[in-house]
Amino acid sequence: MAPLTPRVVVPVDVKKKPWEQKLPLHNRWHPDIPAVADVTEGEVFRVEMVDWTGGRVGDDNSAEDIKSLDLTITHYLSGPLRVVDSKGIPAKPGDLLMVEICNLGPLPGDEWGYTATFDRENGGGFLTDHFPCATKAIWYFEGIYAYSPHIPGVRFPGLAHPGIVGTAPSMELLCIWNEREKELAENGIGLLKLCEVLHQRPLANLPTAENCLLGMINEGTPEWKKIADEAARTIPGRENGGNCDIKNLSRGSKVYLPVFVEGANLSTGDMHFSQGDGEVSFCGAIEMSGFLELKCEIIRDGMREYLTPMGPTVLHVSPIFEIGPVEPRFSEWLVFEGISVDEAGRQHFLDATVAYKRAVLNAIDYLSKFGYSKEQAYLLLSCCPCEGRISGIVDSPNAVATLAIPTSIFDQDIRPRSGKVPAGPRVLKRLPDVLRCTYDGNLPTTQNPCGSM
């Protein structure tokens, strides 16, 4: 007889604060954050996670919590977990850690989530110049389906996934991160320093001790101080995986993570009930608390065997993912295109970011013809299972990006049709809208010259 139920290696209680959990959480990447538990190769185990904000966003009727959200406090991760083989020998630097997602979902009793855009002065989002307000939509789950009182007329099955899954960096890799991001923050690239001024947000978020949570390292100790000053923020995805936000990384998927420290020190967090490619509104998935049931395998020497460094050191590697057959499938898609000409009509050069921005804007405007507000469409495209593709990246000067939306998530037929089309909006009665705060800042009077922002 096998043990029937996965061992819960990291429990969380969503009624408690992140720093009150039985096993302490962390919100930085650093090799010296101690493992909170051991897991053994082949064992199926369960990790529970608070939502990325640790409960600071409420299931209520206001977006004020979003507007004032302190973004230095992101993301609360569960772990690190030290991975050992069946003989007790830990994963070693140079190994590859295979993490299979056997199951996952919302935490029982906490079956809801939210999608939001930040205020332009506090975080912004991919389209913040168009949508400067803080907004929020609440989603409720009916089993595998999500629906929102703030975005009526859509209901879709979730492709739940962890936004963040990563191993701890080595000290050497951490230094590489800090140096390259500091260089960007301080000197920018191209015109980007100008952009920072216009956008009110830094080009990179450098280490800071502010709101730093380091698991079992007590705040205020010298050890805490040292690590807090060095530890990398969790916002971007990097060589260790991290915040990669791959929307299909759901049940049955596998992640192959490079191992940089003994034991691998695996951390997970930022659970999403569903996300669109790009997670465009920034707080853009259906953010929730949740659980993962995982199984690990150590591929000894797998980094050398399977990964090729792409940069000055052997540490410049990337994880690999394997998407399995177990996911919702859609048959029909409506596809919006963007080219790398920005909203001012200016031509950029093979810039996929500009092209994708255009594709998303085109889709938002299209959906607004079916009774949705543009904010509703923006949040929806951020969290529904839409696909963002780089369709053409070589035909100068235009990159072509596409955004494909599965048509069956809507309760109306959203395809273009001839005849019988009412002149006005298709939905005439007043529908609920997203929760919204006012924007108190100024919008740039001239078009932002930075195509890629």
User: Of 223 and 395, which has the nearer Cβ to its own copies?
Assistant: 395
- Are 210 and 140 in contact by the 8 Å Cβ rule? The answer is no
User: Of 226 and 362, which has the nearer Cβ to its own copies?
Assistant: 362
For the CB of residue 225, give the shortest distance to its own copies in the complex, in Å.
Answer: 26
Stretch of 20-28, 213-221, 395-403, 428-436 contacting its own copies, by CB under 8 A: 395-403
User: Of 202 and 220, which has the nearer Cβ to its own copies?
Assistant: 202
Query: 335, 427, 431, 437: which one contacts its own copies (CB under 8 A)?
Result: 335
Query: 51, 65, 111, 129: which one contacts its own copies (CB under 8 A)?
Result: 111
> Given CA atoms 356, 105, 236, 16 in this order, what sign does their dihedral have?
positive
> Nearest to residue 353, comparing CAs of 339, 335, 333, 369?
339
Query: 48, 119, 129, 181: which one contacts its own copies (CB under 8 A)?
Result: 181
Q: Rounded to an integer, what distance in angstroms lies between the CA atom of residue 137 and that of residue 117?
A: 9
- Are 386 and 407 in contact by the 8 Å Cβ rule? The answer is no
In the shown chain, the binding pattern of residues 348 to 387 toward its own copies, with x for contact by CB under 8 A and - for none, equals xxxxxx--x-xx-xx--xx-xx-----------------x
166 scored as a contact of its own copies (CB under 8 A)? no
Q: Rounded to an integer, what distance in angstroms lies between the CA atom of residue 98 and that of residue 376?
A: 38
Query: 343, 427, 433, 437: which one contacts its own copies (CB under 8 A)?
Result: 343
Separation in Å, CA 297 to CA 35, 42, 126, 169? 18, 6, 37, 19
CA angle 243, 108, 59 (to 5 degrees): 70
SS3 83: strand
User: Of 420 and 430, which has the nearer Cβ to its own copies?
Assistant: 420
Q: What is the footprint of its own copies within residues 196-235 (CB under 8 A)?
A: 201-205, 235
Show the tokens assigned to 402: 């596409």
Q: What is the footprint of its own copies within residues 229-268 (CB under 8 A)?
A: 235-239, 243-248, 251-252, 256
User: Of 256 and 260, which has the nearer Cβ to its own copies?
Assistant: 256
Stretch of 19-27, 186-194, 214-222, 433-441 contacting its own copies, by CB under 8 A: 186-194
Q: What is the footprint of its own copies within residues 77-106 (CB under 8 A)?
A: 96, 98, 101-104
User: Of 179 and 219, which has the nearer Cβ to its own copies?
Assistant: 179
Q: What is the footprint of its own copies within residues 123-162 (CB under 8 A)?
A: 125-126, 140-145, 149, 157
Stretch of 19-27, 29-37, 167-175, 194-202 contacting its own copies, by CB under 8 A: 194-202
172 scored as a contact of its own copies (CB under 8 A)? no
Separation in Å, CA 8 to CA 38, 342, 395? 11, 49, 51
Show the tokens assigned to 386: 């839409």
Show the tokens assigned to 156: 């879709």
Could you tell me how many residues of this chain bind its own copies (CB under 8 A)?
Answer: 151
Which long-range contacts link 444-449 to residues 24+ away (Cβ below 8 Å)?
A: 444/129, 444/198, 447/342, 447/343, 447/344, 447/346, 448/129, 448/195, 448/198, 448/199, 449/191, 449/194, 449/195
